[in-house]
Every structure is written in structure tokens, then in C-alpha cells.
Amino acid sequence: MLLLTCLQPLPCLSLPPAQDVPEEILRTEVILGGRSPVDGKPLSASEYEELEAELTESRFQPEIKGDIQQLIFLLQIRKLIKTIIPFY
């Protein structure tokens, strides 16, 4: 008798509640809100797009002196040579 009571199926407690939205549906949802990369404030999709456009416009290539550019170039060549000849 004890053996029969142990073999009875128990209710499954590991399933999520019925009112939860399945993960498969959540993955297909389009996210319309975002956070600002500058300060982390919540933004709508249009505000996020405006901020991204503003940030890409404000980015510029900094002016580097000629001797520093040449030094960077030589360091890049040195790095390339070290990959080809590691013991050099």
C-alpha cells in the first residue's frame, strides 16, 4: 500500500503560471523603447533615432600631427613583422 502511494503522480510545480507570456512570443516582439547611451534615460524610438543621428554627426576624426602619424604607422609595421617573425 505504501508503495502505491509513492508512485502516484504529483502535480507539476515547475511549470510557469498560465498568465505568463511564453519566451517565444517575447523574442518576436519589436522593442519600441530604448535607453540613452549617454545617460541611460528611457527614450522612445524616435528620440533614440534623433540622439543616434546627433551623436554620429558630432563624431569627427581628430587631427594628429605628422610625426605622430608616422610613429603609429611604424608601430603597425613592427606589429605586422612580429606576427610573421615572432622571435624578431
- What are the residue boundaries of the structural domains of the chain, listed by start? 21-59
Q: What is the pLDDT of residues 32-59, one digit of tens each?
A: 778 888 888 888 888 888 888 888 876 6
Q: Read off the DSSP letter of residue 33.
A: E
Of 63 and 4, the one with more pLDDT: 63
Q: Is beta strand 42-44 parallel, antiparallel or unpaired with respect to 33-35?
A: antiparallel
Provide Rg for the chain, Cα atoms: 30
